[in-house]
Amino acid sequence: MLIKKDLDTIRSYFEDSSNLKGGYAEKVILPETIDELAAAVKDANSKMTPVTISGGGTGTTGSRIPFGGVVISMEKFNKIIGVSDKDMSAAIQAGVLVEDLKRESEAKGLFYTSHPTEKAASVGGTVATNASGARSFKYGPTRKYVKRLKVVLSSGDILDVKRGDRVLAQNDARIKLPSGFEINVPMPSYKMPLVKNSAGYFARDRMDLIDLFIGQEGTLSIIAEIELALVKKPSAILSCFVFFIYKEDAWNFSDEVKRLSKNNIELAESPFDVLSIEYFDSNALRLLRDKNPNVPRNANAAIFFEQETEGQKEDALMDRWLKLILKHNAAIDDTWVAMNEKESDEFTKFRYAIPESVNDIIRRNGFQKISTDIAVPDDKFFEMMSYYTQVFIGVELDHVIFGHIGENHLHANLLPRSETELKKAKEIALDFVRKSVSLGGTVSAEHGIGKIKHRYLEEMYGARGVLEMARIKKAFDPNWILGVDNIFPRDISELL
């Protein structure tokens, strides 16, 4: 087990994509086996030393940034234990990078469905936040594919949890640990919104125990090993950028694509087998234009979509898409179509250039990024989109809106350049959060809460709901050492 203490060496562990400042820790521990991991956690627990879990460092909410205690890095847990084409599954250690799992899976004709913007993210990190990415429009979030987890609790107990093995109910929520100790899980009463969601702990009567550890942001346990279901790799994917002069045409195009898509249960035979539908506002296109001057100058919005084409005649399929594109007032001459896998990969990289550009601006500005991660129900989609426009009228604050419009899930990124603008950005983001909650949406659809969105979680579930989550943490982590300040502030423990 490697231990690092030199400040210059460990400074990089105090950063993530949130640009949250001030992180510090006394040392970084890099265990190489689960027994070493368990021993390190048990030792920290005996000393009441806070433990922050460090993955790929791609998170946007400050969850991996420590404020005291020790960091446990999972970078040595980087082994792909096995990928089975027979069982269509993968067993991996939590520190394996998404891009490595994708490459190994696709070599066997399989497909890891989670498609986060940051391929350098660790798979353990995506499980810890129930991440999803662009292709969750078709495939759903990470939670849907987690079959088994091996986790280490704050006590040092190693718990192997398989889906379906243990159901928690209001009248039966005891978990017996290998050590013989029992945890009585205080089942919460709050209700999750009926949208894509990664805000706080999963809650449902008669819920699967494994779901409690998915999206827990390192506050209940450290995820060490993961078994995931995979799907068959699509034989071919059609990728397309469609540019619009009026943003409302882009909204209407997206809405119709959603309604016509094959994953709409009423249209199971639809030719529109859509993987993702992504949106870019005029400011996002301005950033993309810096990467590619061919982005149309008169475009004020764009949609990027991906469509699986297996078993379909491509000419007939393309004809259907072109008719739909024309119907919504987009120019065919300004529509980009990837003709092969290489071009499709280039389109995907081009789409990923947006968050990279936003992060570059934030670093240059020197202020914390303020961004939303909200999603709303389908029937509230147009109301939320119109609200974004309404709020930004007359506001002189750099902002970029992009994201997973197929799930009514957009990221409003506010880019302050001064303390005054930072204050205004926080006010606007909170306003968006409140609007989302009023519409039955979530304050975090894929990034989690971390250390910077406590207020948002309380807006969503109220003080009582957050307190119920804290009681769950207390049951699993009595000394309150794991992921301190993630999901809720550390001083909430004083209320328990």
Decide if 269 is inside a domain.
yes
Name which of 363, 418, 428 is nearest 393 in CA terms: 428
Name which of 309, 305, 293 is nearest 347 in CA terms: 305
407 and 324 inside one domain: yes
* Chosen domain end from 438, 470, 489: 438
Name which of 455, 446, 404, 396 is nearest 421 in CA terms: 396
276 and 345 inside one domain: yes
Answer yes or no: pTM beyond 0.85.
yes
486/217 Cα distance (integer angstroms): 7
70/136 Cα distance (integer angstroms): 34
Tens of each residue's pLDDT in the chain, 496 residues: 899 999 989 999 998 888 788 999 999 999 999 999 999 999 999 999 999 999 888 888 999 999 999 999 999 999 999 999 999 999 999 999 999 999 999 999 999 988 776 767 899 999 999 998 889 999 999 999 999 999 999 999 999 999 999 999 988 899 999 888 899 999 999 999 999 999 999 999 899 999 999 999 999 999 999 999 999 998 888 999 999 999 999 999 999 999 998 766 555 667 888 999 999 999 999 999 988 999 999 999 999 999 988 767 788 889 999 999 999 999 899 999 997 778 888 888 888 888 888 888 988 888 887 999 999 999 999 999 999 999 999 888 999 999 999 999 999 999 999 999 999 999 999 999 999 999 999 999 999 999 999 999 999 999 999 999 999 999 999 999 999 999 999 999 888 8
Name which of 198, 106, 208, 201 is nearest 149 in CA terms: 208
Pairing state between β 370-371 and 231-232: unpaired
CATH assignment of the domain containing 352: 3.40.462.40
Half-sphere exposure of 222 (CA within 13 A, CB side): 36
Q: Are 142 and 216 in contact (CB under 8 A)?
A: no
CATH assignment of the domain containing 221: 3.30.465.10
208 and 107 inside one domain: yes
Domain count, the chain: 2
The boundaries of the domain holding residue 171 are 80-186+201-232
